[in-house]
Amino acid sequence: MRRISWFNATSLTLGFAFLYLPMIVLIVYSFNSNKLVTVWAGFSTKWYGELFHNEAFLDAAWVTLRVAVVSSTLATVLGTAAAYVLVRGGRFFGRTLFSGMLYAPLVMPDVILGLSLLLLFISVGLDRGMLTIILAHTTFSMAYVAVVVTSRLVAFDRSLEEAALDLGCTRWDAFKSVTLPIIAPAVISGWLLGFTLSLDDLVIASFTSGPSSTTLPIKIFSAVRLGVSPEINALSAILIAIVTVGVITTSLVSKRAITKRQREENRAGP
Amino acid sequence: MADHPRTSSQTEFAPWTDPQAKPLIEFRGVTKRFGDFTAIDDLTLDIFEREFFALLGPSGCGKTTLMRMLAGFENPTEGEIRLSGQSIVEVPPNLRPVNMMFQSYALFPHLSVWDNIAFGLKRDRKSRDEIAARVEEMLRLTRLDQFARRKPHQISGGQRQRVALARSLAKAPKLLLLDEPLGALDRKLREDTQFELMDIQEKTGTTFVIVTHDQEEAMTVASRIAVMDHGKVKQVDTPARVYEVPNSVYVADFIGDVNLIEGRFTPTGPDRGEITYGAGEPPILAETTEQIAEGQTVTYAIRPEKIRVSAERPEDRSNVAFGKIIDIGYLGNVSTYHVELAGGQMVKAAMTNATRVERRDFTWDDEVWLSWRASAGVVLTQ
Ligand SMILES: Nc1ncnc2c1ncn2[C@@H]1O[C@H](COP(=O)(O)OP(=O)(O)OP(=O)(O)O)[C@@H](O)[C@H]1O
Ligand SMILES: [Mg+2]
């Protein structure tokens, strides 16, 4: 391996320090035994223990988890279906428009998305609660899933589906037993993406949540406004851990498995 | 080819000569356009049950498109396709008693060889034992027993081709479409597989439509050959007739090696005439099957192996020509002599090498006589 130059080493260190120092400080202080956040008084895990007795936080965590699982699952189903239609549906009227519109939630500011969803829920008379958060999260996660799955489907050899039809499958059968298993890594990474996005969303959730259902980011945000507590540090450290695992798994699953599957597919030809 | 087991049955099996016979597949005025490109052009064709029908033609002439219309992946722009008398244009691929072996194989990369072959059988709701027995049978037939547990990307190109073949055969369809099924196999395995295919066909009574680039393969396996060009069928006939009596210069030139000599026709009888070509050559005496007008420009097509090369002028042949050997192509069993006639016309003559090369009778620059019978060639007007 080539030795890295001083200049490169310095800029790399500075860049990563800039990115990760705040989080490292947070994690370190979550193990601080002192009640005062900024004064170090020795290592302790007691705040983690206290956290698990804090009903409000536990409730919020439970809501967040359910919202993330349900919304990312819904988004995966809808996003995959949308991607499939857009790639395989042939040239139907308005296809370009639809595929453009699918990307809109990706670039739309969260505030606008949140506000518009709020207005929609109010106008149809839907009470704000867990259901509305799930619907809102599904909306934007779905766009991410569709993007990931579309790029995989474009590279997918269509004659595999034809072979399945030829051997007696209906279209649905062919999708289920040939297309889906082959694009599964992309679908899974879409799900993970949706899951992590839902987990750390604050803006959209604060527009669409009701008094009965508060998600963890909202809870943290409002708690912090009253002052940072070591408990919050511990909670944030846990969230960082979950999101990190999610992101790493996503990139592993997508990079490795998608390219592997694709290579296998390409190498199964003449 | 002479000791080929089908030769005897081929003479009996000729439903296309029987006006009462109902074709299994009927193409009626079928046209297929992609945008403004016409891939298949007003094609009418009958294929009969139990036939081994070969599609032959240059790349891009529409062979795969024709197959895809039979399998149900493309719909004709115009015209009708019938299977057993029923129009199948509206029938989706999964409901057609037709299986296809794809040019790209289209093996399922996530399934093992075994599961690939079993795939179609599982859709038929057959019992486990039945499926297993059938898969084992197919594996044995295609000699893939050792590879049953491997994934498609873990086997060689030739083995993949055999998996694709096994998978399409497994369901024992009424009509089997093979798009260049044996291209990636070495010669020995290809010949073995050809005979296996014919054997399978004989046993199962399945109708085969095969696309191939290999003329010899088409000659070996096919009951009839359709020679295609630019989305049109030029000639449909038995291999022997396509070879011996091509109906056009295109077909004569496409199948095998041929001498094409252009000249002017003069009738000398109801079924014979003379062709004048080049300066100073005696006219070619030829037999004809159609009425050709005096003075019409025709092409005389004659296969190299129909021409004899000799040192002395032969007395017993109706056509003789004198020339000099320019080049000799040695192919092992035969040698092709390229002979330039006095008028500059090049003629190829093929002779079997009955003796070893060192003792060959003719060599470069030898002056030789070429001779052939009046019935050896055909007179083509198109
Ligand atoms: N989906 C399509 N859209 C546009 N043109 C097409 C399409 N499919 C085939 N063609 C064109 O139709 C023509 C016939 O194609 P086809 O695949 O039938 O050729 P082929 O005879 O099978 O050739 P090869 O021997 O190379 O396999 C080609 O010129 C091809 O470019
Ligand atoms: Mg083709």
DSSP H or E run through A254: none
Q: Which of B71, B94, B103 minimises the CB distance to A170?
A: B94
Residues with CB under 5 A from ligand 2 (ion): B 64
For chain A, what is the total number of helices (H) and then of strands (E)?
Answer: 13, 0
For residue A62, give both structure tokens: 């439970």
| Chain A residue nearest residue B125, CA to CA | A168
pLDDT of B4 > 60? The answer is no
Which protein residue has the closest C-alpha to ligand 1 atom 19?
Answer: B60
Helices (H), A211-258: 216-225, 230-252
Give B-chain residues touching A168 at CB under 8 angstroms: 94, 120, 123-124, 171
pTM: 0.79
Domain ranges of chain A: 55-227
A169–B123 CB contact, under 8 Å: yes
Handedness of CA A98, A102, A103, A104 (dihedral sign): positive
Using 50, 70 and 90 to split pLDDT, how confident is the model at A237? confident
Q: What is the pLDDT of residue B256?
A: 87
Q: What is the pLDDT of residue B10?
A: 46
Q: Per-residue b/e over B161-173, b at no fewer than 16 CB within 10 Å?
A: bbbbbbbbbbbeb
Separation of alpha carbons B60 and B58, rounded Å: 6
Model confidence pLDDT, tens digit, residues B46-105: 999 999 999 999 999 999 999 999 999 999 999 999 999 999 999 999 999 999 999 889
Residue B63 CA, closest ligand 1 atom number: 21
Which long-range CB contacts under 8 A does A113-119 form with residues at least 24 apart?
A113/A139, A113/A140, A113/A204, A114/A203, A114/A204, A114/A205, A114/A206, A114/A207, A114/A208, A115/A207, A117/A204, A117/A207, A117/A208, A118/A207, A118/A208
| Chain A residue nearest residue B182, CA to CA | A270
Using a CB–CB cutoff of 8 Å, tell me whether B159 touches chain A.
no
* CB < 8 Å from B in window 171-230 of A: 173, 177-178, 181-182
In terms of Cα–Cα distance, which of A33, A128, A183, A227 is closest to B108?
A183
Residues paired with B265 in a beta bridge: B275
Contacts of B185 (CB under 8 A, 6+ apart): B158, B161, B162, B193
Using a CB–CB cutoff of 8 Å, tell me whether A90 touches chain B.
no
> How far from each other are the two terminal CA atoms of chain B, in whole angstroms?
30
B108–A269 CB contact, under 8 Å: no
Give A-chain residues touching B167 at CB under 8 angstroms: 163, 167
pLDDT of B151 > 60? The answer is yes
Using a CB–CB cutoff of 8 Å, tell me whether B79 touches chain A.
no
Distance of residue B331 Cα from the nearest chain A Cα, in angstroms: 30
| B205 Cβ below 6 A of ligand 1 | no
pLDDT of B7 > 60? The answer is no
The 3-state secondary structure of A60-119 reads HHHHHHHHHHHHHHHHHHHHHHHHHHHHHCCCCCCHHHHHHHHHHHHHCCHHHHHHHHHH
pLDDT of B212 > 70? The answer is yes
| Chain A residue nearest residue B113, CA to CA | A268
Helices (H), B75-155: 113-123, 128-141
Q: What is the pLDDT of residue B356?
A: 67
Separation of alpha carbons A55 and B366, rounded Å: 108
Separation of alpha carbons A230 and A48, rounded Å: 9
Model confidence pLDDT, tens digit, residues A185-233: 889 889 988 998 898 899 999 999 888 788 888 988 888 888 777 888 8
* Chain pair A-B, CB pairs under 8 angstroms: 87
Q: What is the pLDDT of residue B164?
A: 92
Q: What is the pLDDT of residue B1?
A: 39
Q: Per-residue b/e over B326-356, b at no fewer than 16 CB within 10 Å?
A: eebeeeeeebbbbbebeeebebbbbbeeeee
Q: What is the pLDDT of residue A3?
A: 73
Domain ranges of chain B: 8-97+173-250, 257-380
Q: What is the pLDDT of residue B44?
A: 94
A267–B153 CB contact, under 8 Å: yes
Residue B62 CA, closest ligand 1 atom number: 18
B109–A264 CB contact, under 8 Å: yes
Give the up-direction half-sphere exposure of residue B271: CA atoms within 13 A in the CB hemisphere. 4
Residues paired with B33 in a beta bridge: B38
Which segment of A12-16, A42-46, A99-103, A137-141 scores lowest on mean pLDDT?
Answer: A99-103
Query: Is domain A55-227 in CATH 1.10.287.3510, yes or no?
Result: no
Model confidence pLDDT, tens digit, residues B10-62: 456 888 888 888 999 999 999 999 999 999 999 999 999 999 999 999 999 99
Contacts of A205 (CB under 8 A, 6+ apart): A67, A114, A133, A136, A137, A215, A217, A218
Distance of residue A169 Cα from the nearest chain B Cα, in angstroms: 6
In terms of Cα–Cα distance, which of B252, B210, B206, B209 is closest to B377?
B252
Contacts of A38 (CB under 8 A, 6+ apart): A29
Residue B37 CA, closest ligand 1 atom number: 5
Q: What percent of chain A has pLDDT over 90?
A: 31
Model confidence pLDDT, tens digit, residues B347-356: 999 988 877 6
Using a CB–CB cutoff of 8 Å, tell me whether B112 touches chain A.
no
Crossing angle (nearest 10°) for helices A110-123 and A130-154: 130
Separation of alpha carbons B248 and B338, rounded Å: 24
Over residues B257-277, the mean pLDDT reads 90
Distance of residue A194 Cα from the nearest chain B Cα, in angstroms: 26
B108–A267 CB contact, under 8 Å: no
Which protein residue has the closest C-alpha to ligand 1 atom 5?
Answer: B34
Separation of alpha carbons B245 and B306, rounded Å: 13
Using 50, 70 and 90 to split pLDDT, how confident is the model at A2? low
Q: What is the pLDDT of residue B136?
A: 94
pLDDT of A94 > 80? The answer is no
- CATH classification for the domain delimited by B257-380, as one of 3.40.50.410, 3.20.20.140, 2.60.40.10, 2.40.50.140: 2.40.50.140
Q: What is the pLDDT of residue A158?
A: 87
Residue B55 CA, closest ligand 1 atom number: 21
Distance of residue B204 Cα from the nearest chain A Cα, in angstroms: 18
Over residues A239-263, the mean pLDDT reads 79
Give phi and psi for B209, each to the nearest 5.
Answer: -120, 125
State the residue for tokens 């080819």. Answer: B1
For residues A157 and A182, the answer to whether their CB atoms sit within 8 Å is: no
Question: Probe ligand 1: pick from B63, B74, B210, max atoms within 8 Å of CB?
Answer: B63
Over residues B249-254, the mean pLDDT reads 92
State the ligand closest to the CA atom of B226: 1
Using a CB–CB cutoff of 8 Å, tell me whether B125 touches chain A.
no
Handedness of CA B329, B335, B336, B342 (dihedral sign): positive
For chain B, what is the total number of helices (H) and then of strands (E)?
Answer: 9, 20
Residue B313: Cβ within 10 Å count: 10
Give A-chain residues touching B157 at CB under 8 angstroms: 270
Regarding beta strands B319-330 and B367-372, do their DSSP bridges make them parallel or antiparallel, or are they unpaired? antiparallel
Contacts of A253 (CB under 8 A, 6+ apart): A185, A188, A189, A192
Q: What is the pLDDT of residue B23?
A: 92
For residues B112 and B148, the answer to whether their CB atoms sit within 8 Å is: yes
Distance B193 CA to ligand 2 centre (A): 20
Using a CB–CB cutoff of 8 Å, tell me whether B160 touches chain A.
yes
- CATH classification for the domain delimited by B8-97+173-250, as one of 3.40.50.800, 3.30.70.20, 3.40.50.300, 3.90.1150.10: 3.40.50.300
B313 DSSP assignment: P
| B65 Cβ below 6 A of ligand 1 | yes
Q: What is the pLDDT of residue B66?
A: 94
The SS3 call for residue B30 is strand
Model confidence pLDDT, tens digit, residues B106-134: 999 999 999 999 999 999 888 999 999 99
Over residues B205-212, the mean pLDDT reads 91
Give B-chain residues touching A160 at CB under 8 angstroms: 106, 108-109
